[in-house]
Amino acid sequence: GAGVSQSPRYKVAKRGQDVALRCDPISGHVSLFWYQQALGQGPEFLTYFQNEAQLDKSGLPSDRFFAERPEGSVSTLKIQRTQQEDSAVYLCASSLEGGFMNTEAFFGQGTRLTVV
Amino acid sequence: AQSVTQLDSQVPVFEEAPVELRCNYSSSVSVYLFWYVQYPNQGLQLLLKYLSGSTLVKGINGFEAEFNKSQTSFHLRKPSVHISDTAEYFCAVSPPYNQGGKLIFGQGTELSVKP
């Protein structure tokens, strides 16, 4: 595709509901990143994949958060038993290889999650 | 641990005026430094980055930033802004020894360019 595509763009979930957020990276991009951006804040790192390998998941805030990229392309971020503090924009980015200092990472428009 | 402080949450400026967006970082080791821009309803876009070498870095859209190690700063500048520069700007750092996926962002500076 032309860029990183995230779906849905907007998601409203009732507290306690499970949600799944999808990221379609740019075709051929090896690296994929997830970030969480709360209202009025800068993005915060969640997790990083290189192909299907999850190299760093140190930013996932709790065991309710789970990310996968089984075939090294599309990635899904799953949040179980959502809570109000999970309300944020979830950003996905991809790059051709390596981390942010190697090649430019391109960000999607994000999924805005509102937990009510 | 690293941290980033963007000293101004909002910067209003008139069109064609110069602008400086301030960024200070805290780190006990050398870091890589980045500036990103986020236009309304769009994803983050890389403006410029400093990895090594010349401390003056030129980016897209006429922006530049200067790395000052002694002051631990990486301020973003543009000599003459346009209405289209209205956006949120984020400074970020990355330690060189990590696997490269973790950027630490500041809280952002909202640049508002008025006619």
Q: What angle do CA A67, A73, A75 make, to 5 degrees?
A: 20
Task: Identify all chain B residues contacting A39, using CB atoms and an 8 Å cutoff.
Answer: none
* Structure-token match 């008025």, residue found: B114
- All residues of chain A having their beta carbon less than 8 Å from the beta carbon of residue B41 are 109
Distance between CA atoms of residues A96 and A53, nearest Å: 15
Mean pLDDT of chain A: 94
CA nearest to A42 within chain B: B107
What is the Cα–Cα distance from B94 to B34, expressed in whole angstroms?
Answer: 8
pLDDT reported for residue A1: 52
Write the pLDDT tens digit of every residue in B71-102. 999 999 999 999 999 999 999 998 766 656 78
A43·B90 Cβ contact <8 A: yes
- CA angle at B46 for the pair B40 and B52, rounded to the nearest 5°: 155
- Tokens 């200067």 found at: B66
Would the CB atoms of B98 and A56 count as touching at under 8 Å? yes
Scanning the structure block, which residue is given the tokens 């805030």? A61
What whole-number distance in Å separates Cα of residue B85 and Cα of residue B20?
13
- Which of A42, A101, A104 is the closest to B51 by Cβ? A101
Low-confidence ranges of chain B (pLDDT < 70): 96-100
Tens digits of per-residue pLDDT, A27-58? 999 999 999 999 989 999 999 999 999 999 99
